[in-house]
Amino acid sequence: MYEKVMSLNQATDLIKDGMLLGIGGNGMHRTPTIFSMALTQKPVKELKICGTALGLAADILFATNQADTAYFGFFGLENEAGLAPGMRKAMEGAEPKARAIEGS
Amino acid sequence: MEYGKPEMMAVAIMRMISDGDIVFHGLASSTPMVAMKAAKALGKNFTYVTLSDGVDHDYLRPPVVASTLTANTYEGSVATFGLDEIFDLYASGKGDIAFLSCLQMDQTGRIAMSYLGGTYDNPKLRGPGGAGSATLTPVTKKVIIWKPQHDKRTFVEHVDFATTSPPLDKEFTVITTLCIFKKPAGEKLLKVDRIFPYTTLEEVKENTGWTIDQTDVPVMDPPTEEELAALKKVDPNNILHFEFK
């Protein structure tokens, strides 16, 4: 466990183009928002994101177009904030930049 | 004591729960959360499971926001029981009630949660997804949909892409702000089971996207003083009203 404790900068350096990331938490809670914010400062792209109930941390990566695929049962910001705007922007319309692989 | 649509819906939810039931609600479900806490306050002896991982939390710990993932649905729990275990329990046929919701629904109970308009790959509106509803609906004894609206945008003639749909062999119930629809086990179509005291069958018909040919339906009893008091007791911050703004 000790070896897994590292700085945010070190952690985001582990992420490479095209990786599949499991993002924990549910919706707006217990989800690594600060990690995603730090990742937006790195030039990684084409990320695949999976989670049971993706929320804010995942939405950030779709808002910046760094993620192109989401595997999920739920993707949203719960009642307080509703539908996930970054995910919607990336996935809706004639030329979506990301795709949803939904399992329910 | 006065009441409105939120209280009537919550009371309708409370009355669906019987002693001995195992009852689940998921995330973004503040209406059934408050109603289930109030059902506990009324003394109903059921098992409350939800994805906070807590079982039968202390229902007197009030929600302060509309999330169903905060500490108030875990603190004081008698056991820890994860979402994976809840799904296993329900898949084994032991789940009595699951409270779920929808973006749109048609008369067969087909539910849209994935997208509205366009196609799956090019949606006009990308929804949040089924959140387990396609897994739970076929295996739960009584699936109960709550929807804090009743209009033709929600209750449509035909759902293009069904995220889930009710099984033929099980009862399926829908609680709206105006009425309760029910599909008995063995039947395919939702019918108006009863309307709420402040509406009429005509208003229900005017706000439903499919044709309702019923001419006479029962009216549900209004909330009792005891039921309204239970709602106030467990929800001093009035989170119940959040979904009705």
On the 0-12 / 13-18 / 19+ scale of CB atoms within 10 A, B109 is buried
Residue B245's pLDDT is 81
Considering only the top CATH level, what class is A2-102? alpha beta
Residues B132, A88: C-beta atoms closer than 8 Å: no
Residue A80's pLDDT is 86
Q: Are B64 and B70 in contact (CB under 8 A)?
A: yes
Q: Which helix (H) or strand (E) is B100 found in, with range?
A: strand B97-100
B155 part of a folded domain: yes
Cross-strand pairs, A69: A48, A99
Q: Write down the H helix ranges in A1-104.
A: 8-13, 33-39, 56-63, 78-81, 85-91
Record the pTM. Answer: 0.95
Low-confidence ranges of chain B (pLDDT < 70): 1
Residue A104's pLDDT is 76
What pLDDT digit, counting tens, does each position of B10-54 carry? 999 999 999 999 999 999 999 999 999 999 999 999 999 998 899
Distance from CA of B59 to the nearest CA of A (A): 20
Q: How many secondary structure helices (H) and strands (E) does chain B include?
A: 6, 13
Distance from CA of A46 to the nearest CA of B (A): 17
Q: What are phi and psi of B46, to 5 degrees?
A: -125, 170
Cross-strand pairs, B219: B195
Q: Are B67 and B96 in contact (CB under 8 A)?
A: no
Q: Are B32 and B239 in contact (CB under 8 A)?
A: no
Is the confidence at residue A1, as pLDDT, over 70?
A: no
Residue B137's pLDDT is 96
- Give B 158-177 residues with CB within 8 A of chain A: 163-164
B243 part of a folded domain: no
B240 part of a folded domain: no
B241 part of a folded domain: no
Residues B27, A78: C-beta atoms closer than 8 Å: yes
3-state secondary structure at position B142: strand
What pLDDT digit, counting tens, does each position of A49-86 carry? 999 999 999 999 999 999 999 999 999 999 889 999 99
Q: How far from B151 is each of B157, B208, B242, CA to CA, in Å?
A: 12, 6, 18
Residues A104, B124: C-beta atoms closer than 8 Å: no
Domain of residue B189, CATH code: 3.40.1080.10
d(CA B34, CA B38): 6
Residues B128, A76: C-beta atoms closer than 8 Å: yes
d(CA B118, CA A91): 12
B244 part of a folded domain: no
Domain ranges of chain A: 2-102
Distance from CA of A98 to the nearest CA of B (A): 9
Q: How far from B161 is each of A90, B19, B139, B187, CA to CA, in Å?
A: 20, 36, 21, 21
Residue-range definition of the domain harbouring residue B164: 5-235
Q: What tokens does B122 get?
A: 């090019």
- Name the domain count of chain B: 1
Q: Are A40 and A66 in contact (CB under 8 A)?
A: yes
Q: Are B204 and B179 in contact (CB under 8 A)?
A: yes
